[in-house]
Amino acid sequence: MADSSPLPGSIGALDSMLAREEYVSDRALSVAVYLALRLKRPLLLEGEAGVGKTEVAKALAAALGRELIRMQCYEGLDISHAVYEWNYSRQILEIQLMRGGGDLDRQTAAKELFRREFLIERPLLKALEYAGPPPVLLIDELDRADEEFEGYLLEMLSDYQITIPELGTVRAARPPIVLITSNRTRELHDALKRRCLYCWIDYPDFEKELRIVNAKVPQASRALSEQATAFVQELRKADLYKTAGVSETLDWIAAIVALDADRLTPERIDETLGILLKNQEDMQAVRGEPVRAMLDRAEHRGVRMSYAGQEPSTAWATSSRI
């Protein structure tokens, strides 16, 4: 983590760097990340909740040995929480001290009150001022922030500089690697999108998800991983308000392992359904007979796969554990 690696020289190199961090990428994503690194442009990642958007940033930071600076967005996020804030209590204390000392002339007061040490750095400023190699700046769930904030961000992303009225302009010596994620609870502005490279992350297909499961829940037996992954794939075909994301798959399989089971049964699925689906109506809709049918179809997929003689997990599993 401490020593930073140079940027990967090829998409393949990036792939294997991410794989070493147990992040299973696909071609579209790797290309987008690679271009973002090369072109020094922010990368906007969109996709349903739980497909691993945030994980990309974590894995990338770890793979490159860079610091990860994360800014979680929320409604009402403003400059004082995203960029910087003055430490008011210390400033007020300073005023009291100056009063006590009797030397309270405004010119010096201004200088004394707005000293660098009274400035509280927030993620964006921290990312610009970072002394070491450029960090990975993750602006998470930007769709939650207000449009006004998006406007501010646009400005910052175009010159990688921030102006603090009392101190002057802070400019990044080397721009950070910026990843922005959005769950699309609203559309982001076109102007911001134009600044960024874009990648849509979909729910993974069976092979990709199985690779992720193998990487993240290695304690699960191969049979269980395949069966459970196939079941989740079936579950995603069902008409639900909110289907299971990859993180739910991982939690669920870990839970089943914790219950000391190595095969799925309809009863076991019913018991643990709350880990996959977070919505009462959805759980009611699939519990019982639909679960049975899905499990049945999932097992047939397993059969088809072993007939094909493919063991898709093997090749990757070796490379992932180098």
Partner 1 sequence: MGHLLENLTQFARLLRSLGLAVPAGSTIDATRAAQHVDLGKRDEFRFALRAVLVRRAEDLQVFDRAFRAFWTKPAGTGTKLDLRPLGSERRFGDPVVEMESLGAGEDSSARERDERAERVRIATYSDREVLREKDFKNLSAEETAQAVRLLREMEWRPAPRTTKRWVPGRGAAPDLRRFLAACARPGAAGDKPPTKGRKAAPRRLVLLCDISGSMERYTRMLLWFACCLAGSLDRVEGFVFATRLTRITHKLRARHESNPFREIAQLVPDWSGGTRIGEALRAFNVQWARRVLGRSAVVLVVSDGWDRGDPAVARREVSRLSRSCHRLIWLSPLLGSPRYKPLTRGIRAVLPFVDDFLPVHNLASLDRLAAHLNSLPAESRTRRAGEGRARTVW
Which region among 215-223, 233-241, 248-256, 294-302 touches partner 1 (by CB under 8 A)? Answer: 233-241
Q: Among residues 239, 196, 235, 231, which one has the least CA distance to residue 210?
A: 231
Whole-Å CA distances, 179 to 33, 95, 102, 174 = 9, 41, 50, 16
Separation between Cα atoms, residue 241 and residue 309, nearest integer Å: 36
Among residues 7, 13, 37, 113, which is the contact residue for partner 1, using CB under 8 A?
113
Whole-Å CA distances, 177 to 12, 24, 58, 168 = 19, 20, 12, 24
16 binds partner 1 (CB under 8 A): no
185 binds partner 1 (CB under 8 A): yes
| Closest to partner 1 by CB, 78 or 271 | 78
Q: Among residues 237, 181, 228, which one has the least CA distance to residue 209?
A: 228
Restricting to residues 82-101, which ones interact with partner 1 according to CB under 8 A? 85-86, 88, 91-92, 95
Strand intervals (E) in 15-134:
43-46, 68-72, 84-86, 119-121
Tokens of 23: 């992040």
- Give me the least distance between CB of 44 and partner 1, in Å please: 17
Separation between Cα atoms, residue 219 and residue 227, nearest integer Å: 15
Rg (CA), the chain: 24
**SS3 category, 42:** coil
Which region among 11-19, 62-70, 109-117, 154-162 touches partner 1 (by CB under 8 A)? Answer: 109-117
**What are residue 120's DSSP bridge partners?**
85
Among residues 75, 117, 260, 289, which is the contact residue for partner 1, using CB under 8 A?
75
258 binds partner 1 (CB under 8 A): no
Other Cβ atoms closer than 10 A to 51: 21
Separation between Cα atoms, residue 211 and residue 18, nearest integer Å: 13
311 binds partner 1 (CB under 8 A): no
- Give me the least distance between CB of 59 and partner 1, in Å please: 26
- Give me the least distance between CB of 72 and partner 1, in Å please: 14
Restricting to residues 116-145, which ones interact with partner 1 according to CB under 8 A? none
**Residue type at 113?**
L
Give CA 155 to chain center in angstroms.
23
Using the structure block, give the residue that is written with the tokens 């991983």: 225
Among residues 7, 31, 35, 109, which is the contact residue for partner 1, using CB under 8 A?
109
Which region among 6-14, 182-190, 195-203, 267-275 touches partner 1 (by CB under 8 A)? Answer: 182-190
Using the structure block, give the residue that is written with the tokens 């921030």: 162
- Give me the least distance between CB of 292 and partner 1, in Å please: 23
Whole-Å CA distances, 265 to 100, 127, 270, 283 = 76, 49, 9, 16
Among residues 39, 93, 97, 110, which is the contact residue for partner 1, using CB under 8 A?
110
Which region among 8-16, 81-89, 196-204, 209-217 touches partner 1 (by CB under 8 A)? Answer: 81-89
Among residues 38, 171, 174, 186, which is the contact residue for partner 1, using CB under 8 A?
186
Which region among 28-36, 38-46, 68-76, 174-182 touches partner 1 (by CB under 8 A)? Answer: 68-76
Q: Among residues 305, 293, 275, which one has the least CA distance to residue 238?
A: 293
- Give me the least distance between CB of 39 and partner 1, in Å please: 30
240 binds partner 1 (CB under 8 A): yes
Among residues 10, 12, 148, 161, which is the contact residue for partner 1, using CB under 8 A?
148
Please report, as ranges, the residues that interact with partner 1 according to CB under 8 A.
Answer: 74-76, 78, 80, 85-86, 88, 91-92, 95, 106-107, 109-110, 113-114, 146, 148, 166, 183-187, 239-241, 281
